[in-house]
Amino acid sequence: MSETEKFNKYGRDWWNPEGGMFALHMINRLRFDYFKGILGDINGKTVLDIGCGGGLLSEEFAKAGAKVTGVDLSPTAIHAAREHAEKSGLSIDYRNCAIKELVDKGETFDIVVCAEMLEHVDDLAKTVEESARLVKNGGHYLFETINKTLKARFLAVFMAEKVLNFVARGTHDYNKFIKPSSLVNLLRPNGIDVKEIKGMSFDILDRQFKISNSTDVNYIGYGVKL
């Protein structure tokens, strides 16, 4: 099953906090607050949310006053995103397309977001290259993904998918997980200077994710286009 087919099956479940996107709903506000803390005032800023899915993160940026474009290869996800944005009274430019189409048009943005998507692409180097080209000089590149460690394989695949049911089975492929050093080494030659990488750790007692210094499983960070 292709990555697009995986996410086509969710449909309106994107916005069901108890459904297949349970884990995304758990981390959505946390990751946005982290990004917002880095960016400061984003009112009027142009934001590109790559692999936007049903629009959970796109809507947070839009609510903060940003001019948001969300792209995804899944037509079902884009339909769900458009439908929810309309119900929420938000104006978001959702597109069912590959990011190369934006590159070919010469589009650039103040902020480019790659959250929960880099670990799902077939050609990571190409995706990083194309996404970096979409950032304006001096703009921000925001990322959030999963480390390639045995701990991540156990927690993000076995526990999250097969025991806790945080995400649907088959959502993640350990072979596509990315070491922070590997991501940095891909971003640097494409003009992105990584400024910070933090962990997103699950607190068993509070049953919620928190920003931490441990990048063993989930990690989040940002860079600036030189």
What would the pLDDT profile of 54-97 be if each residue is shown by its tens digit? 999 999 999 999 999 999 999 999 999 999 999 999 999 999 99
Residue 3 confidence (pLDDT) above 60: no
- Per-residue model confidence (pLDDT) at position 164: 63
Q: Give the pLDDT confidence of 93-137 residue by residue, as tens digits.
A: 999 999 999 999 999 999 999 999 999 999 999 999 999 999 999
- Per-residue model confidence (pLDDT) at position 161: 67
Q: Give the pLDDT confidence of 151-191 residue by residue, as tens digits.
A: 998 888 776 667 666 666 777 898 999 999 999 999 999 99
Interatomic CA distance for residues 172 and 91, integer angstroms: 31
Per-residue confidence band for 6, with pLDDT thresholds at 50, 70 and 90: low
Structure tokens at 37: 């803390």
Q: What is the pTM of this model?
A: 0.92
Domains of the chain: 3-225 (3.40.50.150)
- Per-residue model confidence (pLDDT) at position 172: 80
Structure tokens at 153: 């394989």
Per-residue confidence band for 13, with pLDDT thresholds at 50, 70 and 90: confident
CB atoms within 10 A of CB 216: 15
**DSSP character string of the chain:** --HHHHHHTTGGGGG-TTTTTHHHHHHHHHHHHHHHHHH---TT-EEEEET-TTSHHHHHHHHTT-EEEEE-S-HHHHHHHHHHHHHHT---EEE-S-HHHHHHTT--EEEEEEES-GGG-S-HHHHHHHHHHTEEEEEEEEEEEE--SHHHIIIIIIIIIIIS-SS-TTS--GGG---HHHHHHHHGGGTEEEEEEEEEEEETTTTEEEEES--SSEEEEEEEE-
Degrees to nearest 5, angle at CA 226 with 117 and 129: 35
Interatomic CA distance for residues 209 and 97, integer angstroms: 31
